[in-house]
Structure 1
């Protein structure tokens, strides 16, 4: 039986803790350690370069906290990565929950505690894979690029692509919202990443770190401003950042 392989990265400023994690991970052949970092800035580069499936992140780092590091990464994570915060102080568990961390590990941890977290990760990854398979099979029953299975805060909501004008990341809520043709807003689950939205349809294009538009409603690009057709013509705050302009122009002119 071929097991699914998952990649793991560790960001911790204590060599002993990294060594302990390395030894614990060695007991799970399905997990491959792809990188370790003792500094926050290097940790950010490591995560973006290696795109791990699972990240063990120390809450207390010299340059910035693990929570701040995750904030720094939140707009740039375009793949399904789970985060396990771990620290010597129990007082940080609430911060971990607020950041939608997958789990929380208190140092020093035991073998059973670590094994439980890894088993939960495997189960979560399997569920996600099954959901993606279901979404793909369900989509095949309808016209191509016509539906979007939205993971909202209560479960899943089925929307057609042409019902969605754009998505906006709301900092205060730490989640993406979808603007619909009927004027309503749908809040996506907090663990939804920009990459999850972009993979749902080729019509969705990111224009900056906090906004994704539906190309089907794009009317013109004037300077750095996107203008949409009704019913989204009243939205004036759709600005394209330099990093996303080339991709937007290429896709827009292909329509």
Structure 2
């Protein structure tokens, strides 16, 4: 599953896309303007970005140009708009956007476009492209070579604790993905609720979910949100 950044100034669009993508198993981060999108991109590179064109502070095409000029456009970006012209869509594609979605966006079109965007090959981080001077090239030699850059001081990944057909606190692995994911999410959110003494503001910050989405998710999972349960 992918980490997807949704950038749109309309809260209804953000929440709708977030719910759809979350149900598909993706991790979703939301930004309501270019400033929040910049911060999210610098914190962690998303696997894909859904970027609205018309926003009040900086429009999506300008943000796309900015990322391209800074060398940050190493992930697929899909533009969205309900009022864009063909020229705007062509310009965004020329800058580096992989596709364009016209609002209102249908579920089938959204999922198909995202799947196509995630399947596109991008320049892999940690690879440096080098070129030999033309006079040093042998006939038939490849002018470009890709050299992997060694990762320094990177510890080996810790093994995942596993016992039989269960994982991480007894979550059964021989059940449908959706059911296993719900079990994990209950453990995850109950942990953060307990750690933050049921402060929804702090839990929202820790989990990266907007409060409205957080309340909806906790209700869906059947998790008590008040402190009364914690103090009883």
Q: Given the two structures, how large is their TM-score scaled by the length of structure 2?
A: 0.52
Query: For each residue in 1:135-171, what CA deviation from the matched residue of structure 2 results, as whole angstroms up to 9, or x when unmatched?
Result: xxxxxxxxxx9xx8x6xxxxxxxxxx5x43xxxxxxx
Whether 1:84 and 2:31 are equivalent positions in the alignment is no
> What do residues 20-71 of structure 1 show as CA deviations (whole Å, max 9, x unaligned)?
2112212321x211x2111212211111112101011111111111111122
**Separation in structure 1 between the aligned mates of residue 118 and residue 103 of structure 2, nearest angstrom:** 22
Whole-angstrom CA distance in 1 between matches of 2:136 and 2:8 = 45
Aligned to 1:120: 116
Shift of 1:78: 5.0
Q: Aligned partners of 1:67 and 1:78: how far apart in 2?
A: 14
Q: Distance in 2 between matches of 1:122 and 1:200?
A: 24
Matched, 1:20 2:16: yes
Q: 2:101 aligns with which of 86, 105, 113?
A: 105
| Whole-Å separation in 2 of the counterparts to 1:40 and 1:183 | 46
Deviation, 1:117, is 0.7
Task: Give the distance between the partners of 1:56 and 1:118, measured in 2 at CA.
Answer: 9
Change (3 A) 1:43 1:123: closer
Q: Aligned residue for 2:92? A: 96
Among candidates 147, 153, 166, match of residue 200 of structure 1: 147
Residue 32, structure 1, aligned to residue 27, structure 2: yes
Q: Is the 8 A contact 2:81 2:102 kept in 1?
A: yes
Contact 2:33 2:55 (C-alpha < 8 Å) held by counterparts: yes
Write out aligned runs for 1:1-255 (5 A): 5-29=1-25, 31-33=26-28, 35-77=29-71, 80-91=74-85, 92-124=88-120, 128=121, 161=130, 163-164=131-132, 180-182=133-135, 200-202=147-149
Return closer, same or farther for 1:79/1:86 CA change in 2, 3 Å cut-off. Answer: closer
Q: Aligned to 1:16, what secondary structure does the other structure show?
A: helix
Q: Secondary structure at the match of 2:23?
A: coil
The structure 1 segments of at least 4 consecutive aligned residues displaced by more than 3 Å after TM superposition are 75-80, 180-184, 199-203
More strand by share: 1
After superposition, the CA RMSD in angstroms is 3.5
| CA positional deviation for 1:79 | 7.4
Corresponding residue of 1:138: none
Contact 1:51 1:79 in 2 (8 A): no
Q: Secondary structure at the match of 2:110?
A: helix
Change (3 A) 1:202 1:121: closer
Q: Any conservation in 2 of the 1:11–1:58 contact (CA below 8 Å)?
A: yes
1-structure distance, mates of 2:11, 2:136 = 53
More helix by share: 2
Which structure has the larger Rg?
A: 2
Distance 1:75 1:27, change over 3 A: same
